[in-house]
């Protein structure tokens, strides 16, 4: 054990002594009576301790996107709490209290955290405030309407009485819970819409933030696994004699399709894993190669697909046009490549499973663990820790890494009287080769412009795997055989083009896939925004003017378009480069997760075809920006993430083997390649929408359009290889 108590253990302890907790479900009186009377827990999301500490219970994981700070901001706003006395605790898995109101299960995804919790958390805070005020009113014999609250203190107008939340907690717990507490009007906001400092910055700047990787429990073993060399391969047999000879290796178990070496720490377990001799049964293994798969996709795209949208009559209109263009766009598999490779801690004892990890799909994982272990879901406890990134990965719809940890723990527990405490740690190589990628896609487009240069026909066919098919819990979203994520951004193309058809063909090559930051938008934004640029060129139109015209019926798209064009100085010519350098800028606009983003990328292409992204101007309309600085951070990060994929991201398969395994052959953006980024937020009173994902898909098409502007060469295959740009 470390010399300081572990955060998870401390959490459990605190929960046992909970004071005031407010939530959708009020703790039964008996529970309140048994809790220390001086605490106040008016609902599931707020607790006030006697010392005045306000604990916010976040149903959303903090994985970098700022959800903890966001939840706390909403509650602090309505409570008029003291920001410095707020702490945040991750909620346990409990669908009765902590369901994501947009997803229908407890989890964090689809850029929904702030959006789904916006009114719910404010209501929780307002309820707590009302009860604290009622307590003060009762204590002082003054009508509640004559009391005010500021910075965690209730006082009367006359200045005779003053009490902190802590002093009032016990009495507040005895007040009736108001059916509906009044919410503030926007002009009363003191936190919402302001730069409120992140709650996790200190811990993350000093190395004290606790991640799964950092968990240490009594008797815990570290498991490092040998994974199948191809998807679908099984363990035939293994020889662990040499592995067992490593000092610190405690045991070796087979758990499903992996063989796990258990050690007293990572290093012995890893050494043992490297010495394992595993014979794999590859009779059912997937042996596809990326290049042959893409060729199949190209053939499929030439044949008809299922119709996702059909406006007008493109089959008649398109051949009648004089000026037409055809284009295909190719997208590779992408790994999430979080900084913290996947890991999970599982402790099993008879009748109980406890876990510690960065849980993103709490109830999905809880149900999967319960089914696998034969336990009631309530006997599967999830302690959510900070995640070292996710970008979708930690919300694996099949609970892959969580079940793998449980399988190893169960195999060990079967040999040890039902007890096991295991931390599964994937190496970077395990993480990158374990699949669950953003799928490979192929888009085939054809379109044309009329005599005035205006696009009037658009035909598109998207071919690739269905992300939703991997998520049985969202199967109801599949309509007419079409996964909406496959065509999201294309089937709802906002541009006014009278003859428009979008088709989809779903493939199933057996490669595990899952959502990746912005899901369908990752490829649809590129195909549509680059193709629109191609049509603009064909029709001799300015890319901004054309979009402005075609988006006449879409004011929020228009809003970000105008803002980004203005801030980027689109009307002025781009400054020239040094002799031999070609410069260009490109624009892209895309809506995803109900947020609207437009970006202008400026590039400099050197004589040899190498290029750098100098500057990105970004405009975002995410409704009311609850924390503008976090909105900016998510746009910056989303652009960097999208730029990594645009410049380098590519997982390739050769005869079923993944060819990348670490950051040397799966390159990502580094410091020197980070462009200057300016983020501009559209002022809005609309309900908040997400910002975690929508910044990502826009940069690649903006960049490709910029490269075209600079060189006249159209790159249609991701990643955008500088080597394919011809020298000047």
CB 197 to other proteins: min, Å: 6
In whole angstroms, give the CA distance from residue 219 to residue 237. 29
Q: Is 602 in the site for other proteins (CB under 8 A)?
A: no
Among 9, 82, 156, 200, binds other proteins (CB under 8 A): 200
380/700 with CB nearer other proteins? 700
Q: Is 663 in the site for other proteins (CB under 8 A)?
A: yes
Q: Is 2 in the site for other proteins (CB under 8 A)?
A: yes
CB 529 to other proteins: min, Å: 20
Terminal CA-CA length for the chain: 62
In whole angstroms, give the CA distance from residue 334 to residue 513. 9
Q: Is 606 in the site for other proteins (CB under 8 A)?
A: no
Of 229, 227, 226, 225, nearest to 282 by C-alpha is: 229
44/387 with CB nearer other proteins? 387
389/439 with CB nearer other proteins? 389
3/283 with CB nearer other proteins? 3
- Mark the segment that binds other proteins (CB under 8 A) among 86-94, 100-108, 208-216, 527-535: 208-216
Question: Which are the contacts of 583, defined by CB distance < 8 A and separation ≥ 6?
Answer: 574, 575, 576, 577, 602, 603, 604, 605, 710
Among 15, 266, 377, 549, binds other proteins (CB under 8 A): 266
47/393 with CB nearer other proteins? 393
Whether residue 649 contacts residue 642, with contact meaning beta carbons closer than 8 Å, is answered with: no
CB 246 to other proteins: min, Å: 10
Q: Is 339 in the site for other proteins (CB under 8 A)?
A: yes
Question: Which are the contacts of 723, defined by CB distance < 8 A and separation ≥ 6?
Answer: 609
336/557 with CB nearer other proteins? 336
Among 30, 84, 145, 205, binds other proteins (CB under 8 A): 205
Question: Which are the contacts of 52, defined by CB distance < 8 A and separation ≥ 6?
Answer: 82, 85, 152, 164, 165, 166, 167
- Mark the segment that binds other proteins (CB under 8 A) among 228-236, 277-285, 544-552, 668-676: 668-676
Positive or negative torsion for Cα 409, 410, 415, 421: positive
Among 427, 465, 486, 660, binds other proteins (CB under 8 A): 427
Q: Is 389 in the site for other proteins (CB under 8 A)?
A: yes
Among 28, 143, 176, 207, binds other proteins (CB under 8 A): 207
Whether residue 667 contacts residue 493, with contact meaning beta carbons closer than 8 Å, is answered with: no
Question: Which are the contacts of 265, defined by CB distance < 8 A and separation ≥ 6?
Answer: 222, 248
52/64 with CB nearer other proteins? 64
- Mark the segment that binds other proteins (CB under 8 A) among 45-53, 181-189, 362-370, 421-429: 421-429
307/428 with CB nearer other proteins? 428
CB 294 to other proteins: min, Å: 26
Of 634, 575, 637, nearest to 602 by C-alpha is: 575
Among 417, 508, 571, 664, binds other proteins (CB under 8 A): 664
Return the HEC string of 496-518: CCCEEEEEEEEECCCCCECCCCC
Q: Is 222 in the site for other proteins (CB under 8 A)?
A: yes
In whole angstroms, give the CA distance from residue 324 to residue 96. 55
- β-bridge partners, 330: 442, 717
Q: Is 391 in the site for other proteins (CB under 8 A)?
A: yes
CB 182 to other proteins: min, Å: 32
Burial 353-384 (b: 16+ CB within 10 A, else e): bbbbbbbbbbbbbbbbbbebbebebeebbbbb
Percent of the chain as helix, strand, coil, to the nearest 5: 35, 25, 40
Q: Is 35 in the site for other proteins (CB under 8 A)?
A: no
- At 12, which helix (H) or strand (E)? helix 7-16
Among 5, 197, 418, 712, binds other proteins (CB under 8 A): 197
| CA distance to 212, 222, 253, 316, per residue, from 411 (Å) | 21, 14, 6, 63
Of 287, 255, 250, nearest to 271 by C-alpha is: 250
201/724 with CB nearer other proteins? 201
- Mark the segment that binds other proteins (CB under 8 A) among 288-296, 380-388, 577-585, 705-713: 380-388
Q: Token pair for residue 315?
A: 């089959």
In whole angstroms, give the CA distance from residue 612 to residue 643. 11
Q: Is 388 in the site for other proteins (CB under 8 A)?
A: yes
Whether residue 48 contacts residue 19, with contact meaning beta carbons closer than 8 Å, is answered with: yes
CB 340 to other proteins: min, Å: 5
Among 252, 669, 691, 704, binds other proteins (CB under 8 A): 669
Among 66, 543, 688, 694, binds other proteins (CB under 8 A): 66
In whole angstroms, give the CA distance from residue 611 to residue 724. 11
| CA distance to 584, 608, 619, per residue, from 604 (Å) | 7, 11, 22
Among 221, 640, 702, 720, binds other proteins (CB under 8 A): 640
Q: Which ranges in 540-604 belong to alpha helices (H)?
A: 543-550, 555-568
Among 387, 446, 493, 646, binds other proteins (CB under 8 A): 387
Among 235, 327, 538, 668, binds other proteins (CB under 8 A): 668
Among 64, 448, 484, 656, binds other proteins (CB under 8 A): 64
Among 214, 404, 529, 562, binds other proteins (CB under 8 A): 214
Residues that bind other proteins (CB under 8 A): 1-3, 63-66, 197-198, 200-211, 213-214, 216, 222, 247, 264-267, 337-341, 386-391, 425, 427-429, 629-630, 633, 636-641, 643-644, 662-664, 668-672, 674, 676-677
């Amino acid at each position: 054990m470390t010399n300081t108590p572990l955060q998870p253990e401390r959490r459990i302890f605190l929960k046992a002594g909970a004071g005031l907790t407010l939530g959708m479900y009020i703790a039964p009186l008996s529970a309140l009576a048994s809790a220390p009377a001086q605490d106040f827990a008016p609902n599931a999301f707020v607790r006030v301790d006697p010392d005045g500490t306000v604990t916010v219970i976040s149903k959303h994981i903090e994985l970098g996107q700022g959800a903890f700070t966001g939840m706390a901001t909403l509650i602090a706003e309505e409570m008029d709490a003291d920001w410095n006395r707020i702490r945040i605790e991750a909620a346990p898995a409990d669908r009765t209290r902590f369901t994501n109101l947009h997803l229908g299960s407890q989890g964090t995804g689809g850029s929904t955290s702030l959006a789904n919790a916006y009114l719910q958390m404010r209501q929780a805070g307002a309820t707590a405030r009302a009860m604290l005020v009622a307590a003060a009113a009762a204590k002082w014999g003054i009508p509640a309407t004559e009391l005010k609250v500021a910075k965690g203190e209730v006082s009367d107008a006359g200045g005779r009485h003053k009490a902190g939340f802590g002093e009032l907690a016990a009495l507040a717990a005895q007040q009736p819970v108001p059916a509906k507490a009044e919410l503030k009007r926007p002009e009363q906001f003191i936190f919402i819409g302001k730069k409120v400092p992140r709650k996790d910055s200190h811990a993350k700047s000093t190395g004290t933030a606790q991640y799964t990787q950092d968990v240490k429990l009594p008797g815990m073993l570290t498991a490092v696994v040998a994974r199948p060399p191809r998807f679908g391969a099984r363990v035939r047999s293994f020889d662990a004699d040499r592995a067992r000879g490593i000092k610190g290796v405690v045991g070796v178990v087979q758990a499903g399709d992996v063989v796990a070496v258990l050690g007293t720490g990572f290093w012995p377990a890893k050494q043992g894993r490297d010495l394992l001799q595993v014979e794999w049964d590859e009779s059912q293994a997937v042996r596809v190669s990326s290049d042959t798969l893409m060729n199949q996709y190209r053939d499929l795209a030439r044949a008809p697909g299922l119709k996702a949208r059909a406006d007008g009559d493109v089959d008649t209109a398109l051949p009648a046009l004089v000026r037409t263009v055809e284009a295909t766009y190719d997208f590779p598999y992408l790994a999430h490549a979080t900084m913290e490779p996947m890991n999970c801690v599982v402790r099993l004892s008879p009748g109980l499973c406890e876990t510690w990890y960065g849980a993103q799909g709490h109830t999905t994982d809880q149900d999967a663990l319960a089914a696998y272990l034969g336990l009631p879901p309530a006997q599967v406890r999830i302690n959510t820790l900070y995640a070292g990134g996710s970008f979708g990965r930690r919300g694996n719809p099949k609970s892959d890494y969580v079940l793998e940890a449980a399988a190893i723990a169960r195999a060990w527990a079967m040999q040890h009287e039902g007890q096991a405490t295991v931390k599964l740690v994937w190496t970077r190589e395990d993480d990158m080769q374990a699949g669950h990628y953003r799928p490979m896609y192929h888009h085939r487009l054809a379109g044309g412009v009329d005599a005035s240069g205006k696009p009037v026909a658009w035909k598109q066919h998207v071919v690739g795997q269905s992300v939703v098919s991997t998520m049985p819990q969202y199967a109801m979203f599949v309509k007419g055989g079409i996964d909406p994520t496959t065509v999201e951004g294309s089937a709802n193309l906002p541009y006014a083009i009278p003859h428009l058809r979008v088709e989809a063909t779903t493939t199933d090559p057996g490669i595990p896939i899952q959502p990746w930051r912005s899901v369908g938008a990752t490829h649809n934004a590129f195909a549509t925004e680059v193709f629109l640029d191609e049509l603009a060129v064909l029709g001799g139109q300015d890319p901004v003017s054309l979009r402005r015209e075609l988006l006449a019926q879409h004011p929020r798209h228009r809003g970000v378009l105008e803002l980004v064009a203005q801030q980027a100085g689109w009307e002025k010519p781009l400054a020239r480069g040094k002799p031999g350098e070609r410069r260009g800028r490109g624009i892209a606009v895309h809506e995803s997760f109900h947020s609207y983003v437009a970006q202008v990328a400026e590039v400099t292409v050197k004589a040899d075809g190498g290029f750098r992204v100098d500057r990105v101007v970004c405009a975002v309309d995410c409704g009311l920006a609850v924390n503008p600085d976090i909105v900016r951070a998510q746009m910056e990060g989303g652009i960097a993430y999208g730029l990594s994929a645009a410049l380098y991201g590519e997982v390739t398969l050769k005869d079923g083997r993944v060819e990348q395994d670490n950051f040397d052959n799966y390159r990502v953006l580094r410091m020197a390649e980070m462009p200057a980024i300016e983020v501009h937020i559209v002022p809005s009173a609309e309900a908040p929408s997400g910002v975690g994902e929508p910044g990502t898909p826009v940069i690649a098409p903006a960049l490709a359009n910029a490269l075209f502007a600079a060189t006249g060469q159209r790159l249609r295959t991701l990643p955008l290889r500088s080597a394919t740009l011809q020298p000047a």
